[in-house]
Structure formats: structure tokens, C-alpha cells
Amino acid sequence: MPASEFAERPTTGRRPAWWQRAWLRQGALLLAAVGSGMLVANNPFRPGSDNPDATARGYLRFREILSYIDRDYADSVDTEALADYAVAQMLEKLDPHSVYIPAKDREKTDAFLQSDYDGVGLEFNLARDTMTVVAPISGGPAEQAGIQPGDQILTLGGKRVSGARMSNAQLTQLLRGPRGSSIALSLLRRRQPKPISLSLTRSRIPNSSIDAAYLIDAETGYIKVSRFASNTYDEFKVALADLRRQGLSRLVLDLRGNPGGYLDRATKLADEFIAGSRRLVYTDGKGDQYDSQTYARIAGEFEEGPLVVLVDEGSASAAEVVAGALQDHDRALIVGRRTFGKGLVQQPIPLNDGGELRLTIARYFTPSGRSIQKPYGASYAEYSRDLLEREKRGELASADSNRLAKGRRYRTTHGRSVYGGGGIMPDVFVPRDTLAHSAYFTRLQSSGLLRAFALTFYQQHKAELEGLRFEQFNTTFRISDAQLATLAEQATRDKLPADPAAARRCAPLVRNQLKAYIARSAYGPVAYYTVLREQDPELLRAIQAVNDSAAQLALLGSK
């Protein structure tokens, strides 16, 4: 209402003005109570009973202010965007992980946890504003149509994408679509004088969360889990069984960079390693509504035998649950660096507008009682700078800096000391590779130049590579000094700042990364990870630990 309508007016009946105002106030409270009841009726989660009147007043206040802005503000405004902003700010006041996801973004956020999607099955790289095929996904429409690594996509669905300054997300959106629908594309292939036109029919494409599973040697297996998606546990079971048939007797489980996902998939995976009915994780929320205890309950596939789990500062949430359970029960050595420290449980709540509220309802605790969540205050910006602050403190470089100063001490099953205070502290610390995170190497990687260079090399030498077995390639192939010089020239043309000293320091890493990309195109993902292992200090340390069974058992059994 306009402000003038709140001015005092003469009474026209038997009731005095103060009585009318009081009646209006009572009516507003009644309306608030009715409104709250409707919200409760449409929401499967009941609000708390501590202060329902304050909740109702807050709801009415927000509605009233938004109405005034919409009707009376001097300029036109997008009130829906304002409401989204207000909700986001409100949730930030709660904790860093409660979040509102608008309806338009739900499909994109949910896709992360899906084990398949509808599309054409194409892995691509965007370099110099050119969409270049890295590899078609096995069995997908792109592979069946004969698309090859190194092909450059010119158009998608009649829309020019080469030189169009489109993002990876925009290009992915064009490739995906309803199953059975078609998309036309044109591509440029080396030694082909004219573009090739194709029409692909989208189908269901597997979106595996097991990036690699292979034997490092006759007995040592390696499995990398990138996230805990809907089908992760089933994929892991298949991979583990296959490696067991090949002779696996010890395992490196790589959870580096794993941001989490579905808790039940993570606990099922942990159950494969832990015997009996021991506790895997528990949650503690307000009251007992969201309190839970999860225990091992099956006879797992690998309950005995040396096991090492690789973690780093990018391992979070469900990945930390797995690492914490295995460490607390002395089932595995944890190798790497302190994990992210995300131990808040979010409940997805669908909203009437098609959006979703992911509300923190509890905290994760490891079997010994450690809270996984790192401390947080009122400032989301401060929380998001935590990893940068760890680096400044030297925590990523030195084991001496990697102790939580205020962390409480807990005991594992065999009496070893482990520490709480946020994240999972490794048993064996491995400093972060400074070259891999140097400014020069990061620029080369993020620009897509390394992958583009490797794809060009693969196309130029495809026939020679096809004549080599991977073992021959891995033993004899080396990126030459002349090829590194050519790469540096391309980087300069792409306006990447020249840094000869940094280039010399990073040369072994750049050679190895280029070789890995070439191996990926020629021989597949296992070859890629096999080559990368040569310059992976964390994995090399994990292999050393898992192969030294006596040392591992002594450490896990020590007091």
C-alpha cells in the first residue's frame, strides 16, 4: 500500500480507530498462522516449534517488502532475481553448504551424480576457440559414426561453434538432448580437403565415476573413483572383481579430487573393505530426527590385504567418510594431504517452483567420533579462502605444518592417534608437487594448449603409433627438445607470457603430460594413467606403501 494509506483517518462507525488497528493486527497474525499452516501442509519437513510466531512474522515481512519493491520502486526490477539473491544470502548465514538451486539449474547440478546421460558420447577439448575431439566414448553414437581424436567440430545443429567464443558448458548443452533426437554436425579432419557432414542420433551414454582400474604390477591394483554417483558402487564392484581375477592382492584406492556424492554409495564401498558389523559413519542433527548410524553388514570382496587410500585437499564429503572409516578401523593407510573438511549433511528438498533447497540437517562423524567438518564462521568468503590459507601456512608443503593445532586427539581400533578438527589427516604425508601447481604449468594446462599439441601430434603420427604396442611406446617414446621449443612458440602466439626459467623447471612434467595425452588418444585411459604415474609423487609413495606389507601391518598395529 502507498504510504499515505497508513495515515490516520476519522472513524465512521461505533468502533474507535485504535480498536480497528488492533483488529487488523490480529487479522495479520491470523493470516500468518494460516499461511504457516499451508506451508507445513505442502512441505514434508515440519518447521521447528521453538519460535513459530517469529518465523511467520519474518515471512510476512519479506513478502511485504518484495511487494513494495515490485509496485513502487523507481526503476523496473526483476523481483524473482531479487528473491533468489535474498535466499542465497540467508542460506549463507547458516553454513557454507546449504544452498538453493533454481529450477533452471537443477538438471545441470543433478547431472554430476548421474551415471549416464542422453547425448552423442564425445569428449572434447576447447583450444584456440576450436572444439577438438579428444576421444569418442566407447559404444556411443560419435564412435559409431567414425569420429576420431583430433577432429575439429565446425558446426553443431546448424550453429557455428568454431571461433564462436562458446564455453565448454554451452557446447556440452548443444551435444546433449533427448534420447532418439538427432543432431547434425560438420567437422574438419586432417588430410581431408573438405569438411565432413554427419547426423548423429543421441542415445544413453554411460557416465562412469571409475576413471581407471588396472594392475600396476602382477599383484597391485589401482582404482580411481572420481565421485560417488548413482552407479559408483556397482561400477566399483565390477572393477574390483575384474582385478581380483587378474591376480590383485593389494590395492591403491585413489580418492584425490573426489568431491563426494551419495553417502550410501560411499558406505557400501567402505563396507567392501571392513569386516564384521563395525560402525562406518554416524550423523548428528537437531534432536534425533536426522541422527543415524551406518554399520558394515556384508562380507566384502577385499576385507583382507594391504590397502592404501590416496587423498588430498580436493577430497571431500563422502570421500572423507570412506577415508575416515578405513583409517579409524586401521584397515588402510591414508596417504597424501589433509582432506577438504566437508562434513555437513544436506537434505535435498524439492520446492513448488521446480527448484531445490539443499539444507544442512546434520554433521558427519567418523567411527572414532571425529567431526569431518572444518570450522566455519559467518563469512562465506573466509571459508572459501581456507585452501589458500593452508598453502600460505605451508601445510601443503610440509608435514610439520600439517598438524591441526587445536585438533582433538582420538584413537583408532588399534590405539593409534588420529586428529579431529576438520578433514581427514593422512598417515603418510606427501607434499603437493609445486611444479604441477606452478603458474606456468597451470597456464599451459588451463589454456588447453598441451592437449591440443598432443592431439595434433597423434594425428600426424597415427599410423606409427598404431604399429606400436603400448609397452613399446611407453618404453621408447620421449618428447624432444625441439617439440618443447615448438610448444613454447605456440604458447607465445597464444599470448601466454613467456617464462624460460619456469619452462626449464617444468620440462619433465610437460614432457610426461604430453606423452600421457598422446597415449590417451592412441591406447585409451589406462595408458594415460600409466604414463602419468611416472610424475605422480603421491601415487608413487602410495605404491611403495602398499607393496611394503610388513611395514603397513606394523604401522596399523602400532600403539
Residues with a catalytic annotation lie at: 317, 328, 342
3-state secondary structure of 76: coil
Q: 73 phi and psi, to 5 degrees?
A: -65, 150
DSSP 210-273: EEEEEESSSSEEEEEE--B-TTHHHHHHHHHHHHHHHT--EEEEE-TT---B-HHHHHHHHHTT
3-state secondary structure of 363: strand
What is the rounded distance in angstroms from the CA atom of residue 20 to the CA atom of residue 22?
Answer: 5
**If you ran DSSP here, which 8-state letter would residue 371 be given?**
B
Residue partners of 19: CB distance under 8 A and separation at least 6: none
- Measured over the CA atoms of residue 207, residue 169, residue 224 and residue 216, the dihedral's sign is positive
The one-letter amino acid at 36: S
The one-letter amino acid at 75: D
Residue partners of 518: CB distance under 8 A and separation at least 6: 454, 457, 458, 465, 477
Calculate the alpha carbon distances from 537 to 451, 520, 532 in Å.
Answer: 22, 21, 10
From the list 523, 409, 420, 413, the residue with the least C-alpha distance to 466 is: 523
Residue partners of 540: CB distance under 8 A and separation at least 6: 533
DSSP 430-458: ----TTTTSHHHHHHHHTTHHHHHHHHHH
Residue whose C-alpha cell reads 576457440 in the numeric block: 129
The beta-strand segments (E) located in 25-162 are: 99-101, 116-119, 122-127, 130-136, 152-156, 159-160
Calculate the alpha carbon distances from 232 to 20, 210, 248, 264 in Å.
Answer: 64, 7, 20, 10
Residue partners of 17: CB distance under 8 A and separation at least 6: 8, 9, 10, 11
With vertex at residue 23, the alpha carbon angle to CA 17 and CA 27, rounded to the nearest 5 degrees, is 145
What is the rounded distance in angstroms from the CA atom of residue 68 to the CA atom of residue 85?
Answer: 17
What is the rounded distance in angstroms from the CA atom of residue 185 to the CA atom of residue 199?
Answer: 6
Where residue 376 falls (left for φ over 0; alpha for ψ -120 to 50; beta otherwise) is: beta
From the list 238, 6, 201, 27, the residue with the least C-alpha distance to 115 is: 238
Calculate the alpha carbon distances from 125 to 130, 137, 167, 173 in Å.
Answer: 8, 14, 11, 15
Task: Assess contact for 461 and 412: CB atoms under 8 A.
Answer: no
